[in-house]
Amino acid sequence: MSVALLSSEVFTEPGGFTEGVEGPACDGWGNLYAVNYARQHTIGIVRPTGECSVFVELPPGSTGNGIRFNSIGNMLVADYTAHNVLLVDMETGDVSTYAHEPTMNQPNDLAIGANDLVYASDPNWADDTGQIWRVGVDHSVVLLETGMGTTNGVEVSPDERTLYVNESVQRTVWAYDLSPTGELSNKRLLIQFPDYGLDGMRCDVDGNLYIARYGKGVVAKVSPMGEVLAEVPLLGRNCTNVAFGGPDGCTCYVTVADRGNIERFRTDRPGRSWLLFQKRQLLKS
């Protein structure tokens, strides 16, 4: 792979995904998944070669957004139209309801801890507010925080001790202390941007956040101390989310709504989720 460090290039052809392209997430075999390939209500699979196809069709009334993988390799999908977190069996392609909460606004993005606790952002775009939910391994749903701005990107730090949540309209990123049982405390402002929006974000193994700056057409690399370390210019402007993958975990994939495709660039450090998968594989062997 000849992609220069922090230099973005086209990975999938523009127009292959709808403007609702989101997700994204990589499995342990180098495949990338993102929602709304070819049409709404699908999840697409992108092979390491860039070849795309429909992986699964979601149930009627369901539309995917954020995607994550749990410790046994099954896919979890934020279903914002039906107020669900869906479970996709990667062997059979069967789609079931992992958790349902009718009082959710529209679950947007997901983060997942090494202990399989799931955290879901839940914006209400009509009034620029939002919430955060936790979904347990027993499928129980707990409201962690309400009265926030438009919660969107959400991520767990590599040491599992911090939960990051951003607010799109308010352009803020918040950090919480995260307990082993998934309780939040000590809310503090990590950074507030002066312009444009925020969308999905993911951590590398050093705890740096890679944040999709919707409308600005860049991915911002932000340190755990809230310092902007770099901005990666993209070909599209409306970037919606990021994911780490590739053979060494150092390829960052970016979903881009205005071009209906996925871009990629190289980083100097692998992603947290990629490293977590490697550790799990070592424990199994």
pLDDT of residue 62: 97
Q: What gap in Å lies between CA 109 and CA 107, rounded to an integer?
A: 6
| pLDDT of 16 higher than 70 | yes
- For the segment 167-185, the average pLDDT, to the nearest whole number, is 98
Residue extents of the structural domains in the chain: 9-284
pLDDT digits (tens, 9 = 90+) for 54-81: 999 999 999 999 999 999 999 999 999 9
**pLDDT confidence band for 267 (50 / 70 / 90):** very high
Residue 209: phi and psi, rounded to 5, are: -90, 135
Percentage of the chain surpassing pLDDT 70?
A: 97
pLDDT of residue 3: 52
pLDDT of residue 280: 73
Q: What pTM value is reported for the model? A: 0.96
pLDDT digits (tens, 9 = 90+) for 239-258: 999 999 999 999 999 999 99
| pLDDT of 275 higher than 90 | no
pLDDT of residue 10: 97
| pLDDT of 2 higher than 60 | no
- For the segment 178-189, the average pLDDT, to the nearest whole number, is 98
| pLDDT of 202 higher than 50 | yes
Fold type of domain 9-284: Neuraminidase (2.120.10)
Just list the catalytic residues: 199
pLDDT of residue 285: 58
Beta bridge partners, 124, equal: 129
Indicate left, alpha or beta for 162 from its phi (over 0: left) and psi (-120 to 50: alpha): beta
| pLDDT of 1 higher than 60 | no
- For the segment 264-268, the average pLDDT, to the nearest whole number, is 97
| pLDDT of 167 higher than 60 | yes
DSSP per-residue codes, the chain? --PPBT--EE-S-TTSEEEEEEEEEE-TTS-EEEEEESSTTEEEEE-TTS-EEEEEEPPTT--EEEEEE-TTS-EEEEETTTTEEEEE-TTT--EEEEEE-TT-S----EEE-TT--EEEEEEETTTTEEEEEEE-TT--EEEEEEEES-EEEEEE-TTS-EEEEEETTTTEEEEEEE-TTS-EEEEEEEEE-SSS----EEEBTTS-EEEEETTTTEEEEE-TTS-EEEEEE-SSS-EEEEEEESTTS-EEEEEETTTTEEEEEE-SS-BHHHHHHHHHHHHH-
